[in-house]
Amino acid sequence: MTYDAEATRQRIFEAAAAEFAEHGLAGARVDRIAAAARANKQAIYLYFGGKEKLFGQVVRAKVDEVCHAVSLDPRTLPEAVGRLHDWYHEHPELVRLLLWEALEADAGQVEGERERGESYRGHVDGLLATGLPDRTAAQDWLFTVLGLVAWSFVAPQMRRLVLDEPDAERAVARRRETVVELARVLSERSPAPEPHA
């Protein structure tokens, strides 16, 4: 049987995503990642350069997943917000990873910060092309929409307490309806995109 380096990398990556989502960077253990991936610890260092770099790559990949899955466009905001809400509901690991990153990042810097910032700047550029008045408005718009959707998944206990809904799925469905409606109102207040010549 031949050694498949790419399959090993993928197994390590998937095991690391689960480990980091559960335990954060500080609490994650390389030996548990290696055991879950059916790989040796040396492979983790060889392929990813260590636990901190692996954590950064996992977070970036998960953020990239949602960025590729859902396009936020002011012209179709309610539908996009609904899809984004569904994505977060189906992938709770992203919110957990982002929370761990916020709690554990050294001096406010995160692994791959420059590249991740460039990715968000690309989304802001896309929003500018839809007719938002300036870069600051587009940045604020993007950050607000992301927060509007993510809050239900950041603090699910608050969703339960505030909505007073014992059925978690019904609470999520209620919250989805609300954020989609708020997105509709927000999109109506956004400037209309300029027609293309």
pLDDT bin (cut points 50, 70, 90) of residue 63 is confident
- CB atoms under 10 Å from CB of 3, counted, come to 7
Q: What is the pTM of this model?
A: 0.81
CB-facing half-sphere around the CA of 120: CA atoms within 13 A:
16
The CATH number linked to 145 is 1.10.357.10
Q: How many domains does the chain have?
A: 1
The range of the structural domain enclosing residue 81 comes to 56-189
pLDDT in tens, 153-175: 888 888 888 888 888 899 899 99
- 5 found inside a domain: no
pLDDT bin (cut points 50, 70, 90) of residue 196 is very low
- 85 found inside a domain: yes
Nearest Cα to 173, choosing from 86, 77, 76, 53? 86
pLDDT bin (cut points 50, 70, 90) of residue 24 is very high
- 41 found inside a domain: no
AA letter at 55: F
- 46 found inside a domain: no
Q: What share of the chain is helix, strand, coil (3-state, %, to 5)?
A: 80, 0, 20
- 14 found inside a domain: no
Which residues, in sequence order, are CB contacts of 83 under 8 Å at separation 6+? 69, 70
CA–CA gap between residue 194 and residue 23 (Å, rounded): 47
